[in-house]
Structure 1
Amino acid sequence: MEQKGCPTDPKKREEGDYTLIGDGEDDLLGLYDKPLPCFGCGIGWFSFLLGFVFPLMWYYATILYFRNYYLNDPRERTGLATCAIAALVFTIVALIVAAVILF
């Protein structure tokens, strides 16, 4: 018994006498077609670069990272994780500098 659109006979499959009902990967193709926000580099990398001038941007991107913003677009994950690391390093350096100045 043949299912609609999917013949069991190999010759019919080779000839192309069937109709494709749906493709499992078809939904994922549109995800990467649109460019990333912030001049095409994504919020994470844009925040990382801007963080050298305004370090609060690293903390903003860290909040986005921990709130799983990258689930909207997986391409954002690396930039947001980089900002989280930069925020951690900046905080440690700022605490060391403050400790040296105060003590």
Structure 2
Amino acid sequence: MADDSEPLPRGAPHPSNPIEYRGTTVPGYPVLEPTPEQIERRLPCCGFGLGWFLFIIGFFLASIPWYVGVVMLVCIKNDHREWIGLVCCTIAAILSLIVVVVGGTRA
């Protein structure tokens, strides 16, 4: 199937690269600028999310940060990037609770 439209002139930016069009318009191609709501903020803790930070610190601080991560997952509206780390905190908190209960009943 042949395209009857005129090709872009030589040296013109390709329409599939929207970065080249920031602040400009190209005839025939809609250009959408990201709104401030669509621009994601930088994650805290050196680029890690707070959930992953709590998960890693939980190995050193007797799993207390994992329980903080569970509370954050349940009570606070989270960023979609934070969700995975907080779910890992929840799984680790459940496993540590099982270990403590099983270890306490054997003594």
Q: TM-score range by the shorter chain?
A: 0.5 to 0.7
**Mapped partners of 1:95, 1:18: distance in 2:** 62
Identity %: 32
Candidates 32, 38, 61, aligned match of 1:29 = 38
4+ runs of 1 displaced by more than 4 Å?
17-20
Aligned to 1:11: none
Aligned to 1:85: 91
User: 5+ residue gaps in structure 1?
Assistant: 1-14
**Mapped partners of 1:79, 1:18: distance in 2:** 39
Aligned to 1:41: 48
Output the TM-score relative to the length of structure 1. Answer: 0.67
Output the TM-score relative to the length of structure 2. Answer: 0.65
- Give aligned pairs, total: 82
Q: Does 1:65 find its partner at 2:73? A: yes
Deviations 1:17-48 (A, max 9, x none): 8987xx4x8235312xx321112111100000
Query: 1 or 2, which has the higher helix percentage?
Result: 1
